[in-house]
Structure 1
Amino acid sequence: MNAVFRADYYRMTGKKWGIRSWLDLITRYDLRYLLHIRSRRNVLFTLKSLRASRKYGLEILSSDIGEGLYIGHAHNINVHPQALIGKNCNLNKGCTVGRENRGKRNGAPTIGNEVWIGSNAVVVGKIVIGDDVLIAPNAYVNFDVPSHSVVMGNPGKIIPRENATEGYITYKV
């Protein structure tokens, strides 16, 4: 097991990697998917991740994801290959981190450390999301967000708040 996957495993389960962890890996498809995307250099793991992508709607194609990724309710999560995601980030069901194809925000987002992205939230365009940001469920974000903020609504509204993700991001690595 590589160190990055072990950090992801800790974030997902709250347990250190050990002999009993293999049972979790066998019974939980979200952990298997994380193992597959962290081991893309291996052809077998790449094929298995493609199969899981089709089966569960998981399309996490970005190769630059920091350690400690947490996938909550792992269905229909899309991350563009050019997106950059920092450490200890949470992606919840139905969220999209995508590319904008025209205009001044042409490109994919850069997401900082300790960012919580809620269910069905959409983060698009060449924007920068700071550290310690909570993006509420169903929010639409196509603008830069400063660190220590909460974003909610459509169109998104920024609410400054210290420790915005406190209680939302657990088992930090």
Structure 2
Amino acid sequence: MSIGVLKGDPHTHFDDIESFLYVLVLFFLSYKGPLEADKLMEARVQGFIQPVGMGRLPHVTTWPAMVEPWRSGTFAKISIYKSGLLSAEHCDDFIDAYLSNIRARWEHVSQSISRAILRLVCDCWMMFSRQRRQVTHRQFIEVLETWLTQYAGEEGNYVYPFDD
């Protein structure tokens, strides 16, 4: 949730964009990397549905301490914590912590993937920090498109075992 929504402020389109930033951040922190080809094929056969009672999938991980406060406590405390992370004085601290967590989770897969993830998330995080969360759709899309252009063709370097 965006900081404004957590604080009870009226919802704006900026809140939607900020919420997407957090989804982006958490996506890469929630996984240890892509599944191996055999596990990916097995997931496809099962329709990418995890049978109940199997526990956590091997490529899914717990959130690191740096973002754990996002899921517990009052909305007011979560908003204060997120505000601190996005503040100019703590933005670099967040990026440094994110860097070490992404390296730990993704560098075993590929250093280029790790660098690409870091570039995307850091560019987005810094944009939100500099603009005090008032990022437009166009600005966010520009960062995403720049990143996609920069890493175009990279997807061919990774396992995708499906023929269709």
Q: Larger relative CO (CA 8 A, sep 6+): 1 or 2?
A: 2
Structure with max Cα Rg: 2
Query: One fold, TM greater than 0.5?
Result: no
Q: Which has the higher helix share?
A: 2
Q: Which has the higher strand share?
A: 1
Q: TM-score under structure 1 normalisation?
A: 0.28
